[in-house]
Structure 1
Amino acid sequence: MHIGDGGQERLNTGTAHSARVYDYILGGKNHYPADTVAGDAMVEVWPALPVHMRANRAFMLRASRYLARERGVRQFLDIGTGLPTSPNLHEVVQGTAPESKVVYVDNDPIVLNYAQALLNSTPEGRTTYVEADMRDPDAILGSAGFRDTLALDEPVALLVVGMLHFIHPGDDDHGLLRRLLDPLPAGSYLAATVGTADFAPQEVGRVAERYAAEGMPMALRTRAEAAAFFDGLELIEPGLVQVHKWRPDPDDEQVSDEDIAMYGALARKPS
């Protein structure tokens, strides 16, 4: 594995961070007391939150496996990677095609620390970590890790999973996504999930309040607002659906619609 550009900010363990809260709620070990307190408060107001988070991650794994197996994609750009949790993206796609290349991007220094220890590529492929923020696409696309790992004459799968509800319209959410997509060649893909309060508005609204209290305000979208992120792209069946309904595997966890607050879709950049 190659560690790309980093060192942008020091590790802050006294304030909850979305990647570490996610790790805590999923049963991981790479978090701090502030993340535990925040996670407990969120689960208290919406006990289905762990189910929802597992379904979101399962979508990412299914979509990436589908891209590697069915669409022949061998290059992946994962924005908002989070802390390593096996199976990781590179393990899934390199299990199908060992030559696959993955660029992981996150803005939490602790993710970099564990990426160094846990993310190991196959000899035929390559994994790179870039410490950067989605709000700065130029830092991602201009990084040595990105330039040295992914070739822009072949399709790239851009994954933005569990991220867009932290990007507000005032942050030019659609523009940021387009700036990441525009340099990618025709035939590339976008796999994204979008947070929503359509199915459990009161419970999810309380979770959003807890995130905001921890300095992580959320922007929850309606289905129409979620669909707008895929404008100009060719949706892959079954289109935009709750994440647990996107090409589910027979052995996936069985969940209720009201326990899932995330839309997901996979779409192709047309020629």
Structure 2
Amino acid sequence: MPATVLLFGLACATPEPVLQKPPFRGTAFIDPDLIVASDPSTLRSLDYKGLDTRRMFDRRVDAFVSTDAYLFDATFEGAMVVEVQVNAEFGDAATAERHAAFYARAIGQLPAGLRTRVETVWIHRGDQPFGGGNDNILIHTGKAAEYLRDGVLEEILMHEAAHTSLDPVHAAADGWLAAQEADGGFISDYARDHPGREDVAESFGPFFALRHRRERISRDMAGTIQATMPNRIEFFDRLELDLHPVR
């Protein structure tokens, strides 16, 4: 009798969905031309404010630290102002300004909808990965050199800005979780391995590529993105994010 009950239970159980293998390892690296240096930027001015102490996260020590920083106000179209905090380790205000101007211009190339919660930018030396969240974008210039070499600096910044501006509102939202479940898989290994933390940021880049840089990606890549995450694409479509200065 117990065996009969067990067999009945197995026969009537709803099978677990089989997740598709993600097509990419990490989506910030799928195409270096989604945003390129020659694309327009909404950065309008950069003003030096002086040297002062700021509390900044530094991946080299994996902690928040209070340190002197050269401070700049980066003003973007729409009168949006972001404080760029450059670690005083760079030595002088002129060197700090070159770094602040370079990264502020690149951040101004991102869709405006990804900058809505960006209040500060932290810039340190070091070969550690960039970061998002904390109303901030974290930059380590040693790692930036690697991203520049591979042509993906802007794509990495887009990923981190998605963390900062989209995750707090959408990562745990019912609509996003429903889209995630309906798609039955993930766009990347990174999203699959960290679904609550990385899925929004990992999915936004492919959405952006498909909807707004279709002419810069291959037909095969477009088909893969559409087939893997149709419900996430629809979710992003419904947000109607401000994509300026993307044309």
Q: Pick the TM interval, shorter chain.
A: under 0.3
Structure whose alpha-carbon radius of gyration is higher: 2
The structure that is helix-richer by fraction is 2
TM-score (norm 2): 0.26
The structure that is strand-richer by fraction is 2
TM-score (norm 1): 0.25
